[in-house]
A and B are shown apart, each in its own frame.
Chain A
Amino acid sequence: MDIEKKLINVKYKTDNVPHLVLNQEICKVCEDKVCLTICPANVYKQALSGENTDNDAKKSDTIECISVEYENCLECGACRVACPYGAIDWKYPAAGCGVAYKFS
């Protein structure tokens, strides 16, 4: 099932600053990586070994093992509760930003 197909219908106003920040040091040694499956918007993806699919992240010095497509976040909070190591710094997007439901 394509989550992208579901997300097409969701309206967002994207915040420039990511509201979800991972402590990648923890992620590197995490064996569960429950974030990869629990997110209803598939925000967390395994980055290819050493490389990153995200263009912005390529510029940064740190090699990330999990990429975060925070723009797709539905702000449910599942990842924060599910991460057994508290490695997700979970905040709300800036006021007025993020998901904007119309029919829910």
Chain B
Amino acid sequence: MTENFREKIDAIVVGAGPAGVSAALAIKRGGKNVVVLDRSENIGSKNMFGGAVYLNSIKSILPNSYKTAPYERFMTNHTYSFLTEDEAVSVNAVGKNQTTATVLRPKFDKWLVEEAKKEGVFFAPKTLVKKLIYKNGTVVGVQTEQEKYFAPVVILADGVNSLLAKQIGLRPEFFPKDMVLSVKETLKLDKKVMEERFHLEEGSKEGAMFEFFGGLSEIRTFRKNKKRLVTPFAIGFLYTFKDSISIGLGVSLEDLANYKMRPYELLEKFKENPAVKKLIKGAEEQEYSAHLIPEFGFNNLPRLYANGVMVVGDAAGLVNSAHFEGTNFAIESGKLAGETAVIALNLGNTRHNILKIYKEKLQKSFVLKDLKSYRNVVEKLYSRKKSILYYYPKKMAELMETVTCVDNVPKKRKFRKFFGSIFFERSITELFRDFKAFLRLFFDIMF
């Protein structure tokens, strides 16, 4: 980069993921010079997620070209599957909705960057920001391995581990309860086999996605030979791509730590579940990856701005894990931070009293609205994890068994036995607690 350009930088964005690129686009469109620094050699190669982006979200920043992104498949086929050790009860929805698409991040992120370059956003790959330069209580620039960059406003889009937000105290130290670890494998699968297995139209871009609940509980022996059921708070997923599938798990970091479980062993156990095994049969391992998902949510939201700096996307913990949504929050928060940067630059004041506009914009958008209505979801689900991930999948399988098994026993007796068991086989307080948690979440989200 020439000295000349460096003197004219209005804004620095750290991280070229969806949040960073979205912010940079908004800044450039506001007539300001922006540079995006990214530590990877090939942009996108450090990025990992379950598999899907949302077309409406991409359209919001690239209305003319969003259709040309390297989409792998459009998710027309959604399945929620409740697993026991050897049974599964699934809800499958086949629809026309084509607004969710799988992408491979190395390809997609590169496409996003190329689109931004066309509009004059400057990218500096292979550039690692070591720390923020802080003067008189204001962020004034960044220190990379080689050089210093200065600009009136810096946007942190450096991902879930955001060491930079931590450096200036925007976010506190995290604890395992604030994080979910996602481990994933991409498996190569013949296109024909995939189309047949997932009921996709031959030669089409139709795709299927799955979420899996349960099937990972185990009985452990504790001190004094006491046996106890251990249920890791983990949700499985499967996405279809052009000629591959991704299979993975998001597991509470706290449970992994407490139960001393190895994430890849849990992933293998998940893959061995009969219902899952059938879906990935014959698929060849292509890549293994891992990533953290921030789950601190609305109740522990970090500070989103300070003098000369704003935090966006994963770095700010903006995800809705209950719906597996993240890239849409990244893109929207990036856009709103970028717009705020332009307002601040035009005013010639990038201090916190102006940058607070960013938070106000977030509050008016779905980002903080959703985060707020879902503020108790993770905590509540976690507190009832044995019900959700062990007991109810088991009962659902039992109910299906009761309905489908023909065995010369009068129906009345069978159904009475089943419904009676819901009230009497566990302590009634468990049922009461499940119901209370359900009501709480229902009212949080609806009202």
Binding site for B on A (CB under 8 A): 1, 3, 5-7, 9-10, 13, 32, 34, 37-42, 74-78, 80-82, 86, 90-92, 94-96, 98-104
Task: Report whether B126 and A99 are in contact in the complex, using a CB–CB cutoff of 8 Å.
Answer: no
Query: A6 with B185: in contact, given A1-B265, A38-B257, A96-B41 (CB under 8 Å)?
Result: yes
Chain B nearest CB: distance from A28 CB in Å?
A: 19
Given contacts A38-B256, A40-B264, A96-B41, contact A104 B145 (CB under 8 A): no
> Which of A13, A81, A82, A101 touches B289 (beta carbons < 8 Å)?
A101
Q: Which residues of A contact B144 (CB under 8 A)?
A: 95
Q: Which residues of A contact B56 (CB under 8 A)?
A: none
Task: Please state if B45 and A100 are interface contacts (CB–CB under 8 Å).
Answer: yes
A1 and B181 in contact, given A78-B292, A100-B45, A101-B287 (Cβ under 8 angstroms): no
Selected contact of B290 from candidates A32, A76, A81, A86, CB within 8 Å:
A76
Asked if B160 lies at the interface with its beta carbon under 8 angstroms from chain A, I say yes
Q: Could you say which interface size class chain B belongs to?
A: 35 or more
Distance in angstroms from A17 CB to nearest chain B CB is: 11
B186 interface residue, CB < 8 Å from A? yes
Q: Are B128 and A103 in contact (CB under 8 A)?
A: no
Residues of B within 8 Å of A91, CB to CB, are: 163
Tell whether, in the assembled complex, residue B176 and residue A7 are in contact, meaning their CB atoms are under 8 Å apart: no
Report yes or no: A95 in contact with B128, Cβ–Cβ below 8 A: yes
Q: Give bound CA distance, A13 to B256, whole Å.
A: 28
The answer to whether B127 and A95 have CB atoms under 8 Å apart is: yes
On whether the beta carbons of A78 and B181 are closer than 8 Å, the reply is yes
Q: Contacts A9-B285, A76-B181, A82-B256 hold; do A40 and B263 have CB atoms under 8 A apart?
A: yes
- Are A9 and B288 in contact, CB atoms less than 8 angstroms apart? yes
Residues of B within 8 A of A74 (CB): 289-291
> How far, in whole Å, are A9 and B186 apart by their CA atoms in the complex?
10
Indicate if the CB atoms of A92 and B262 lie closer than 8 Å: no
B10 within 8 A of A: no
A80 to B244, CA, bound (A): 32
Is B92 on the interface with A (CB-CB < 8 A)?
no
Give chain A residues whose Cβ lies under 8 Å from the Cβ of B138: none
Please, which residues of chain B bring their CB within 8 A of the CB of A104? 47-49, 104-106, 184, 186, 246, 287, 289
Pick from A42, A100, A103: contact of B41, CB under 8 Å: A100
Residues of A within 8 A of B183 (CB): 40
